[in-house]
Amino acid sequence: MLPSSFTPQFLNQLELFKIRARRSFLGSRQGGHLSPKRGHGIEFSDYRQYELGDNPRHIDWGVYGRTDRLYVKRFQEEQDLRVLLVVDGSASMGQDSTDPKWERARDIALALGYIALMEQDTVSAAILGSRTSPVLSGPRAVHQLGALFDQVVPGGEGNFARDIQRAAAQIKFPGVAVVISDFLCPFEEVERGFNALRSRNLDITAVQILSDEDLRPFERGGDSAIAIDRETSERVDVHFTPELRAEYQQILEDHCEQLRDFCAGARISYALALTSESLGDWLQNILPRVGILR
Amino acid sequence: MPFGAVIPALLLALPAAAALLLYVYRRGGSGREVRVATVLLLKKISRPVFAPRKIRLPPRFFLELLIACLIGAAAAGLYLKGEGGRKIILLDNSLSMAAQLAVGSQSESRLESAKTEAEKLLSDLPLGAEVSVFVTSPGLSNASQGFVSKEEARRIISGTRAVYAADNIRSSIDRLLASGEGVPLTVLTDQRIRVEAGTPLFSAPTLMTTPLSNVAISSLRLVEGSRNDSLSVVAGFDAYVPDSERSSTAAIPLTVTLQELSFSADLKGVPLAREIKAKKGYITPGETLEIRFDEIPRSGQAFRIQLSLGIASSLNTLRLDDEVYFLPRETKGAPLFVSDLSSKQLGVSGLKGGAPRVITPDELSASSVNSATPFVVLHRFVPQKLPAVPLLAIVPPADSAVFPSRSEATPSQITRWLEGHPINRYLQFGALKLKEQSVLSVPGWAQEIVSSTHGPLIYAGELEGRRVVVSGLELLPFEGKKSPLLSILTLNIFKWLSGEGNEGVFSSPYGRVHLPDGTTAVRMSSGAPASLLAPTIAMPEEPSILIAEEATAASIVDAVNFFDPTESDTANAPPIDVAIAARETLEAASRSLVEPLAVFALVLLLMESLLWLFKNYRRGVNVH
């Protein structure tokens, strides 16, 4: 089941998009993306000499007239794109929060999945720390995707690197990978996780989701509290003064900047999604700019 | 406080444990809790921050606090005191406590040292403690009249003075231990106390037990002078030196001064003292030195002998036994027999020392007896007013209210006699058979000396300051060798009445003094009033001449002196063994609460564990 926010109007908007890969990947069947495979297609690629058995229709007679040699045209095949959606399902995604990042992550994953499936691409989803979907294709498979997310309750102490490595191990064909998480974990784990995906020759996009709670903690209810980590249950006393709040903001900014710098260096696209923003606007404005949608 | 602790310092852990528990509960659960995605970034904040806590104390906190308190109290060895923070102080204020003890570069009396020890003791007692102060002399008495506050006890102790009396320390300790009901007792005395085993119920500081040297006037007797108008006096002196110093102490030089005291016409004020003679001598420790003064005029009103050691004064730590008083009266009078029988019939004319005076009961009057009369024998007669001198009543009439008795005509045999009493010296009564006797009713002031199958036959004691013997046996006529048993008994009684070692007219300051009728006031020779009670007063607390003032005429009453070698001997007092069964008295004094506290704590701990397990079981939590 798709969330209630996936209205017919929203879906119509999504159908206008297409998943874009920065490079071409071999597909398993005909699709809408240029693949490195040469064969039949629309997009002219190059010539080769005629060989016995080639379709005479593909002989370029203009070249023959000029060269007295038979050449056939080669076209770039359009094949489907493998889209892997990796969604952080750990407790930090805040299922029990008033502003759950999990919902946003799910919506982004479903939106991208819908876009891909409508374009005859194949989609698989891996929810870190939870389950992995089979390879899905066809527009109707979006409901299976929705059902997968419905069954998942984020929780547990996630290990980003380990979970990503597990998901990466199941990839058989390279394609596009979209990793959706808050990335609020030790940077070494993020690095190891992404490196595992990079080793699979994937076109990776990182979507970082942050909520108001992450940006401005304890704004509601006072500056003092005992912060309890959702994943580890570790307790930290917090009493924010204006100076300490500014310091926290700087720490968060530094963490995100470190992520962005890594992504830039690793040729990973990066997008920031705030739960306070409209999903439709974000999809329309941010993702195309990042380059994953067109 | 009714509680005490073996290790009181551990009780300080209780508030620490409570504070820790409070901190843990504050730290562990209260305060606004907010679940966040991660504390990773919050931990990077440079300065530690602590959210203020609101205290939320569940019932479990109080249960755990109770358990912590129980364990702490058990570890500290809490016990219930027997008498709830009470203390008894027995202060020895006998004569020997006036001896001067060297403390540092100064000297103070043993009593002052005892007061200092008492002050330390009172300071160490907890707030609200109650103290009962007893003094030993003259006679054990409760100076505080029960338990009083520390401040009141302090005041009583500081006002206590050494008196001319023995300490009776052993009997005092026995009586207090027997009646103390487990109240801790501290004895402040110069006697060395030995306790079988250490116990918190008994303590005896030893500061005052240092042996000290002393030279004292140990005896005084008047002797007939060479002329009728004079007399001689012989004073005995004893030097007491610690055994450890005896061999190194040479003969001690001393000076003895004889003074005549002259009173004013109205006998008021301090008498004038005129030195008559002074003699020097040397006294060796352990030996008695006698110094004799002759040709003392009988015309003198009163006399005083004083001892001084001059340059050897450091060996004389007790000065209160360095003077004696005497009056120039007849040295030794004859006993007086009051009987219907004659001297010959009484068989006493041949007694050593000369024939006694014999008068009939009708002839007896106040003037018949004076202080020179050594004793009076009342033969089958008891006057309404007893003479104020030692007396022997032989077979008192059955209707006598003073010496109740009943006649027994049936034969009896003596069954019991008090061995060791001077009256029974050299006697074995087993063979004596009696035909008739008067069975006596022994009063509280007397001891039963001889008893028969019918009951007490002879008792003796001290009544109103003088020795009294009552015999239900007919001792007269004195038959000498014919009846050796009764004769020896009679002579023993006479000797005892005369005062063994207490010859002459010199009194010891025990008991009371009988004064002539009409006496309204009594003073001592120093001018200080002794008492205003009439007709008898208590003995004064220092040697002196006791002067009675009658309504019509004044009369000098008596010389009061003090001779007690056990008090004057400040050097070698034997230790006193006090037996206290430490275990029994400790149990009586306090009850350990360690076991019940520990058991209770364990039970509560077990209950809490079971409750916690049950609670988690219901939640379905795996407790492994």
Residues 217-246 of chain A with CB under 8 A from chain B are 217-218, 221-222, 224-232, 234-240, 244
Please, is B307 exposed, middle or buried when counting C-beta atoms within 10 Å of its C-beta (0-12, 13-18, 19+)?
buried
- Residue A77 sits at the chain B interface (C-beta within 8 Å): no
Taking the CA of residue B25 and the nearest CA in chain A, the distance in Å comes to: 14
Q: Given A224, A235, A251, which is nearest B41 (Cβ)?
A: A251
Please, is B567 exposed, middle or buried when counting C-beta atoms within 10 Å of its C-beta (0-12, 13-18, 19+)?
buried
Q: Given A184, A222, A238, which is nearest B49 (Cβ)?
A: A238
pLDDT tens digit string along B232-254?
888 999 998 888 887 777 888 99
Chain A residues with CB under 8 Å of B54 CB are: none
Tell me the C-alpha distance between B165 and B156, whole Å: 19
Q: Is the pLDDT of residue A12 over 80?
A: yes
- Residue A247 sits at the chain B interface (C-beta within 8 Å): yes
Q: How many residues does chain A have?
A: 294
Of B413, B366, B407, B408, which Cα lies nearest the Cα of B385? B366
Q: Given B34, B41, B43, which is nearest A255 (Cβ)?
A: B41
Q: Given A182, A224, A248, which is nearest B51 (Cβ)?
A: A224
pTM value is: 0.45
Q: Given B31, B34, B41, which is nearest A252 (Cβ)?
A: B41
Domain boundaries, chain A: 8-25+80-290, 30-79
pLDDT tens digit string along A35-58?
555 666 666 667 778 888 877 777
* Contact criterion met (CB < 8 Å) for A251 and B31: no
- Do B219 and B264 contact (CB within 8 A), yes or no? no
Tell me the C-alpha distance between A257 and B163, whole Å: 99
Task: Report the share of chain A in percent with pLDDT over 90.
Answer: 17
Q: How many CB atoms lie within 10 A of CB B168?
A: 17
Please, is B476 exposed, middle or buried when counting C-beta atoms within 10 Å of its C-beta (0-12, 13-18, 19+)?
buried
b/e per residue, B204-233, with b = 16+ CB within 10 A?
Answer: bbeebbbbbbbbbbbbbbbbebeeeeebbb
Q: Is the pLDDT of residue B508 over 50?
A: no
Between B533 and B503, the more confident residue is B533
Q: At how many degrees (to 10) do helices B59-75 and B594-619 cross?
A: 150
Tell me the C-alpha distance between A140 and A108, whole Å: 18
b/e per residue, A195-227, with b = 16+ CB within 10 A?
Answer: ebbbebebbbbbbbbbbebbeebbeeeebbbbb
When pLDDT is cut at 50, 70 and 90, the band that residue B429 belongs to is: confident
Of A248, A290, A121, which Cα lies nearest the Cα of B36? A248
* Contact criterion met (CB < 8 Å) for A97 and B35: yes
> In the numeric block, which tokens belong to residue B326?
């005497």
Q: What is the pLDDT of residue B367?
A: 79
- Residue A250 sits at the chain B interface (C-beta within 8 Å): no
Angle (CA) B253-B254-B257 rounded to 5° is: 155
Q: What is the pLDDT of residue B503?
A: 37
Tell me the C-alpha distance between B357 and B343, whole Å: 8
Chain A interface disruption, residue of B25, B32, B35, B55, most A CBs within 10 A: B35
Between B593 and B470, the more confident residue is B470
Tell me the C-alpha distance between B2 and B4, whole Å: 7
Q: Is the pLDDT of residue B50 over 90?
A: no
* Contact criterion met (CB < 8 Å) for B50 and A255: no
ipTM of the complex: 0.76
Compute the Cα dihedral for B36, B38, B41, B42 and give only its sign: positive
Tell me the sheet residues that pair with B462: B467
Tell me the C-alpha distance between B212 and B241, whole Å: 7
Q: What is the pLDDT of residue A169?
A: 80
Of B306, B284, B283, which Cα lies nearest the Cα of B293? B306
Taking the CA of residue B19 and the nearest CA in chain A, the distance in Å comes to: 20
> In the numeric block, which tokens belong to residue A208?
């970082």
Q: Given B35, B49, B50, which is nearest A228 (Cβ)?
A: B35
Of B560, B498, B557, B469, which Cα lies nearest the Cα of B331? B498
Chain A residues with CB under 8 Å of B48 CB are: 237
- State phi, psi for B497 to the nearest 5 degrees: -65, -35
- Residue B41 sits at the chain A interface (C-beta within 8 Å): yes
Counting one residue from A and one from B, how many pairs have CB atoms under 8 Å apart?
A: 96
- Do B456 and B439 contact (CB within 8 A), yes or no? yes
Q: What is the SS3 assignment for B317? A: coil
State which residue of chain A sits closest to B50, comparing Cα positions. Answer: A237
Q: CA dihedral in degrees (A31, A36, A41, A45; nearest 10)?
A: 150
Taking the CA of residue B52 and the nearest CA in chain A, the distance in Å comes to: 7
State which residue of chain A sits closest to B52, comparing Cα positions. Answer: A224
State which residue of chain B sits closest to A90, comparing Cα positions. Answer: B37
Question: How far, in Å, are B221, B235, B256 from residue B239 at the CA level?
Answer: 19, 13, 14
pLDDT tens digit string along B170-214?
888 888 887 766 678 889 998 888 877 666 667 777 777 888 889
Tell me the C-alpha distance between A116 and A283, whole Å: 14
Cα atoms in the Cβ-side hemisphere of radius 13 Å centred on A80: 20
Q: What is the SS3 assignment for B251? A: coil
Taking the CA of residue B54 and the nearest CA in chain A, the distance in Å comes to: 11
Mean pLDDT, to the nearest integer, of B365-370? 80
- Residue B54 sits at the chain A interface (C-beta within 8 Å): no
* Contact criterion met (CB < 8 Å) for A248 and B31: no
SS (H, E, C) chain A: CCCCCCCHHHHHHHCCCCECCCCCCCCCCEEEEEEEEEECCCEEEEEEECCCCCCHHHECHHHHHHHCCCEEEEEEEEECCEEEEEEECCHHHCCCCCCCHHHHHHHHHHHHHHHHHHCCCEEEEEEECCCECCCEECCCHHHHHHHHHHHCCCCCCCCHHHHHHHHHHCCCCCCEEEEEECCCCCHHHHHHHHHHHHCCCCEEEEEEEECHHHHCCCCCCCCEEEEEECCCCCEEEEECCHHHHHHHHHHHHHHHHHHHHHHHHCCCEEEEEECCCCHHHHHHHHHHHHCCEC
Q: What is the pLDDT of residue B509?
A: 42
Cα atoms in the Cβ-side hemisphere of radius 13 Å centred on A4: 0
Chain B residues with CB under 8 Å of A222 CB are: 32
- Residue B610 sits at the chain A interface (C-beta within 8 Å): no
- Residue A102 sits at the chain B interface (C-beta within 8 Å): no
Of B119, B165, B133, B143, which Cα lies nearest the Cα of B562? B165
pLDDT tens digit string along B383-399?
988 888 889 999 999 88
Taking the CA of residue A124 and the nearest CA in chain B, the distance in Å comes to: 26
Domains (ranges, CATH) in chain B? Answer: 3-77 (no CATH), 86-211+573-592 (3.40.50), 214-329+564-568 (2.60.40.3230), 336-498 (3.40.50.880)
- Residue A259 sits at the chain B interface (C-beta within 8 Å): no
Q: Given A214, A234, A237, which is nearest B49 (Cβ)?
A: A237
Q: Is the pLDDT of residue A73 over 50?
A: yes
Q: Given A182, A231, A238, which is nearest B42 (Cβ)?
A: A238
Chain B residues with CB under 8 Å of A229 CB are: 35-40
Q: How far apart are the first and last CA of chain B?
A: 47
Ordered DSSP codes for B443-509: -TTEEEEEEESSSEEEEEEEETTEEEEEESS---S--GGGSHHHHHHHHHHHHHHH-TT--TTPBPS
Task: Report the share of chain B in percent with pLDDT over 90.
Answer: 16
B193 backbone φψ class: left, alpha, beta (φ>0; ψ -120 to 50): beta
- Parallel/antiparallel/unpaired status of strands A71-79 and A30-39: antiparallel
- Residue B42 sits at the chain A interface (C-beta within 8 Å): yes
* Contact criterion met (CB < 8 Å) for A218 and B34: yes
* Contact criterion met (CB < 8 Å) for B43 and A236: yes
Mean pLDDT, to the nearest integer, of B119-123? 89
pLDDT tens digit string along B250-273?
888 999 999 998 877 666 667 888
Tell me the sheet residues that pair with B560: B507, B544
Amino acid at A240: F
Chain A interface disruption, residue of B27, B36, B47, most A CBs within 10 A: B36
Chain B interface disruption, residue of A226, A244, A245, A258, most B CBs within 10 A: A226
Place of tokens 């009057």: B365
Tell me the C-alpha distance between A208 and A286, whole Å: 12
Taking the CA of residue A47 and the nearest CA in chain B, the distance in Å comes to: 57
When pLDDT is cut at 50, 70 and 90, the band that residue B507 belongs to is: very low
Amino acid at B31: G
- Do B214 and B570 contact (CB within 8 A), yes or no? yes
- Do B373 and B330 contact (CB within 8 A), yes or no? no
User: Please, what CATH class does the domain formed by A8-25+80-290 belong to?
Assistant: alpha beta
State which residue of chain A sits closest to B38, comparing Cα positions. Answer: A229
Tell me the C-alpha distance between B261 and B301, whole Å: 6
Q: CA dihedral in degrees (B43, B48, B51, B55; nearest 10)?
A: 110
* Contact criterion met (CB < 8 Å) for A229 and B38: yes
